[in-house]
Amino acid sequence: MAGPSVQSLKLPLTGNDAAAYAMKQVNPDVVAAYPITPQTELMQTFAEYVHDGEVDTELITAESEHSAMSACVGAAAAGARTMTATSANGFALMWEVLYIAASLRLPITMTVVNRALSGPINIHCDHSDSMGARDAGWIQLYAENPQEAYDLLLVALKAAENHDVLLPAMVMYDGFIISHTMEVVETLPDEAVREFVGPYKPAYAMLLDKKPFTVGPLDFHDYYFEHKRQEIEGMLHAPAALAASAAEFEGLTGRSYGPLETYRADDAEVIMVALGSTAGTARYAVDALREQGHAVGLMKLRTFRPFPAAEIAAALGGAKCVVVCDRVVSFGAFGSPTFAEVRSALYEVPERPLVINYIYGLGGRDTGPDLLEQAFEEGLRVASTGEIKEHVGYLGVR
Amino acid sequence: MTTLKELSHREERFTGGHRLCAGCGAAIVARQVLLAADGPVVIGNATGCLEVATTLYPYSSWKVPWIHNAFENVAATISGVETAYRAFQEKGRLAEKWHFIAFGGDGGTYDIGLQALSGALERGHRMLYICYDNQAYMNTGIQRSGATPKGASTTTAPAGKVIPGKLQPRKDLTAIVAAHHIPYVAQAAPHNFMDLTRKVEKALAVDGPSFLNILAPCHRGWRYPPEDTLKVTRVAANTCFWPLYEIVNGEYKLNYKPRKKLPIEDWLTFQGRYAHLFEGDGEPELVAEIQADVDRAWEDLLIRCGELPPRECRDEKKK
């Protein structure tokens, strides 16, 4: 791999700082947002950029997340590069409009600072907010740390705006664990970011095009299905667009962002699947167990939508047991969302691994290496006996 | 102000061939408003009759850029369009002056869209919000809304054996909007089209939010002959059920004072939705209550418009 082509600037940034800094460098036309913990500092920081004249962005301080996303739709349909950010209940309040943004093919980019969805009310991390919107038609990328929070927002924006895709994108990172944790983040110079994202060229724009057209008409059984099929087609183009965007980004930074990432997984008998900050903890647990002579590894899933089924099958196909850890519960489902989809992705693998599921960390419950080691140990037992005691277990619950 | 003759030469930007009912008040309002709004304009439309009946894909009645997002968020949506416009102006990408008009029915404005409207008004976007008020959820089949007047029968507040229609008075939306202290607020009705035209022009001339509450009869819901749409709003003005007035930078002005204020029965008996108030023994107490409500609101308005001295001054004189 070639080294980075651009000199980076190392800055101490929290996840929220990093996302706000990326937004500042993108300098979007319009941002519409509403404050909610743990996203708040992100928008506060961005508001400072606006009020200090460091960006040209018009900021809409909406009276709710529903209106924030609605205003994003209006601005994006008018031809503006549009961004926002939210968490948890605010994200849930956007729900209706998330689907509309995707169906109107508006490449809005949003940071979602993952927080448990009420109720009971809680402000700490789990993935119940963004996981619930996995069918909304948005590209969904999970960042592990502040560096990825910064990088993936840029990669996602460029892929979303690709005219073969034209779908909105959300980048997630873990509330408090990442949003409020400071790390050294390598940032690009402003010029490099502006050149990377380029000037925004909307596929259509109500204001920049004199031709009048109708956005969001009533669409019955005679056309609705075809329009949904076109939306599906946009999502089918997303993997290539994400790969192209990530490749260009890698050229600038040397940092590579595929849909997933493996760690000591090549010869592993047991591979854990994790998203977000837990991947870091899992690497630590992998090292500890490798020290003890256990053949374990990790697959960090970065891109949840579009779901990289083929890459997952290739990455996990050689294992005896796959342990899927998910920070979300899907009530009444057979396992958590990532479990169900990973297990399905493995269906046609010649020697199918056994797959077990652990739900962990709900409402911000701390999940240390000891808990993940516990999950690995059960995976090792399943791998050696070929016998699953229960498909779905819970880590760290009393 | 633009004359009727001049209006007649303007291009129709809300075209015919739409699926709104013959005699629909909302269609007349949309056409009149677009005729009065000269120059480039973006229309936002809340979910409702006007939206579903004018944009049945692949057809559209709108020869201007038009956006529908959802039911409760047209104010937020148009505020996003207007903000994009400002961003483009700042960057020198757009020189021409555009107008931004949102249409919402009473359901989308008095009820489910009230929060989005309030937020957009407070933020001060340069947009004209038009509530085409037909006093119920007509698109879904005449359910009562916060705009449905006392005594009217709707499908969710029917004239039953025990409860005679809707018992609660409607919200005073125009007053709620006025409380945001925006530059221009007015109430209008399509029978007085010169007044309506003038109000649209005034509203679009202000540098900030403006609001028009326009009575837009629905003969399916109100139960009167389709050809009487403009007659019924005239009766609304002449009974003072729907006064025509405007609030310019906080100052109230009455735009129409009937030579003779007609009794509320003239309004009620015009429409089948009030028929139960007069059948058999009728509901004379309820009718008297409706009359008293109208009288009180009309007097309040006359005082605000300086047409009557405040009550305490008149009480002083009596002493």
Nearest-by-Cβ selection for B84 from A29, A68, A213? A29
Stronger pLDDT, B118 or A213, i.e. the higher one: B118
Residues 71-110 of chain B with CB under 8 A from chain A are: 72-73, 75-88, 90-91, 93-94, 98
Query: Which are the contacts of B220, defined by CB distance < 8 A and separation ≥ 6?
Result: B21, B138, B142
Does the beta-carbon distance from A206 to B62 stay under 8 Å? Answer: no
Could you tell me whether strands B66-68 and B41-45 are parallel, antiparallel, or unpaired per DSSP bridges?
Answer: parallel
Contact predicate B27/A175, CB 8 Å = no
CATH number of the structural domain spanning residue B59:
3.40.50.970
Domain ranges across chain A: 9-253, 260-395
Mean pLDDT of B171-182: 98
Q: Where are the alpha helices (DSSP H) in A27-121?
A: 40-51, 65-78, 88-103
Alpha-carbon distance of B11 to A388, in angstroms, equals 73
Residue A108 contacts B where some CB pair is shorter than 8 Å: no
The CATH fold assigned to A9-253 is: Rossmann fold (3.40.50)
CB environment A300-314: b (16+ within 10 A), e (fewer): bbbbbbbbbbebbbe
Q: DSSP strand E in A129-265: where?
A: 139-142, 169-174, 183-187, 214-215, 260-263
Average pLDDT, chain B: 96
Give residue A191's pLDDT. Answer: 97
Alpha-carbon distance of A139 to A133, in angstroms, equals 10
Residues of A with Cβ-Cβ distance to B94 under 8 angstroms: 207-208
Phi, psi values for residue B249, rounded to 5°: 45, 45
Residues 132-171 of chain A with CB under 8 A from chain B are: none
CB atoms within 10 A of CB A241: 25
Task: Give the number of domains in chain B.
Answer: 1
Alpha-carbon distance of A9 to A305, in angstroms, equals 31
To probe the interface with B, which of A67, A201, A230 has the most B CB atoms within 10 Å? A67
Give residue A258's pLDDT. Answer: 98
Contact predicate A215/B67, CB 8 Å = yes
Alpha-carbon distance of A263 to A298, in angstroms, equals 5
Does the beta-carbon distance from A75 to B57 stay under 8 Å? Answer: no
**Which residues form the domain of B204?**
4-318
Could you tell me whether strands A303-305 and A139-142 are parallel, antiparallel, or unpaired per DSSP bridges?
Answer: antiparallel
Give residue B119's pLDDT. Answer: 98
Nearest-by-Cβ selection for B80 from A71, A96, A213? A71
CB atoms within 10 A of CB A255: 16
Decide whether A9-253 matches A260-395 in CATH topology: yes
Does the beta-carbon distance from A77 to B119 stay under 8 Å? Answer: no
Residue A80 contacts B where some CB pair is shorter than 8 Å: yes
Three-state secondary structure call for residue B34: helix
Closest residue in chain A to residue B60, using alpha carbons only: A214
Residue B30: both structure tokens together: 């949309």
Does the beta-carbon distance from B70 to A70 stay under 8 Å? Answer: yes
Q: Which of A96-105, B197-206, B303-312 has the lowest mean pLDDT?
A: B303-312
Mean pLDDT of B116-130: 98
Query: Is it the case that residue A49 has pLDDT exceeding 80?
Result: yes
Residues of B with Cβ-Cβ distance to A214 under 8 angstroms: 55, 60, 62, 66-67
CB environment B91-125: b (16+ within 10 A), e (fewer): eeebeeebbbbbbbbbbbbbbbbbbbbbbbbebeb
Alpha-carbon distance of B197 to B201, in angstroms, equals 6
CB environment A61-73: b (16+ within 10 A), e (fewer): bbbbbbbbbbbbb
Contact predicate B42/B98, CB 8 Å = yes
Closest residue in chain A to residue B41, using alpha carbons only: A207
Distance from CA of B145 to the nearest CA of A (A): 22
Is the predicted ipTM greater than 0.90, yes or no? yes
**By C-alpha distance, which of A51, A60, A15 is closest to A33?**
A60
What are the residues facing B143 on neighbouring strands?
Answer: B137
Query: Is it the case that residue A211 has pLDDT exceeding 90?
Result: no
Residues 24-53 of chain B with CB under 8 A from chain A are: 42, 44, 51-52
Pick the CATH number of A260-395 from 3.40.640.10, 3.40.50.970, 3.40.50.920, 3.30.2310.20: 3.40.50.920
**By C-alpha distance, which of B26, B87, B88 is closest to B52?**
B26
Contact predicate A354/A383, CB 8 Å = yes
Give residue A155's pLDDT. Answer: 98
Distance from CA of B133 to the nearest CA of A (A): 21
Distance from CA of A116 to the nearest CA of B (A): 26
**By C-alpha distance, which of B236, B248, B243 is closest to B211?**
B248
Could you tell me whether strands B245-248 and B251-254 are parallel, antiparallel, or unpaired per DSSP bridges?
Answer: antiparallel
Query: Is it the case that residue A5 has pLDDT exceeding 90?
Result: no
Q: How many CB pairs under 8 A join A and B?
A: 158
Closest residue in chain A to residue B69, using alpha carbons only: A216
Three-state secondary structure call for residue B69: coil
To probe the interface with B, which of A57, A63, A82 has the most B CB atoms within 10 Å? A63
Name residue A230's amino acid. Answer: Q
Residues of B with Cβ-Cβ distance to A75 under 8 angstroms: 80-81, 83-84, 87
Nearest-by-Cβ selection for A78 from B55, B81, B123? B81
To probe the interface with B, which of A26, A66, A70 has the most B CB atoms within 10 Å? A70
Give, to the nearest 10 degrees, the angle between helix A190-197 and helix A146-161.
Answer: 30
Give residue A3's pLDDT. Answer: 73
Query: Is it the case that residue A153 has pLDDT exceeding 70?
Result: yes
CB atoms within 10 A of CB A18: 30
> Which helix (H) or strand (E) element contains residue A197?
helix A190-197
Does the beta-carbon distance from B81 to A75 stay under 8 Å? Answer: yes
**By C-alpha distance, which of B287, B205, B250, B252 is closest to B36?**
B205
Phi, psi values for residue B128, rounded to 5°: -105, 120
Alpha-carbon distance of A325 to A331, in angstroms, equals 16
Contact predicate A43/A14, CB 8 Å = no
Mean pLDDT of A107-130: 98
Contact predicate A357/A324, CB 8 Å = yes
Contact predicate A322/A354, CB 8 Å = yes
Give residue A239's pLDDT. Answer: 98
Mean pLDDT of A314-331: 98
The 10s digit of each residue's pLDDT in A380-392 is 999 999 999 999 9
* Cα-Cα end-to-end distance for chain B: 46
Residue B311 binned pLDDT confidence (cut-offs 50, 70, 90): confident
Query: Which are the contacts of B93, defined by CB distance < 8 A and separation ≥ 6?
Result: A208
Query: Is it the case that residue A210 has pLDDT exceeding 80?
Result: no
Mean pLDDT of B104-122: 98
Contact predicate B148/B165, CB 8 Å = no
Residue A260: both structure tokens together: 């997933």
Mean pLDDT of A203-226: 92
Mean pLDDT of B207-234: 98
Mean pLDDT of A333-360: 98
Query: Is it the case that residue B319 has pLDDT exceeding 70?
Result: no
Residues of A with Cβ-Cβ distance to B60 under 8 angstroms: 213-214, 217
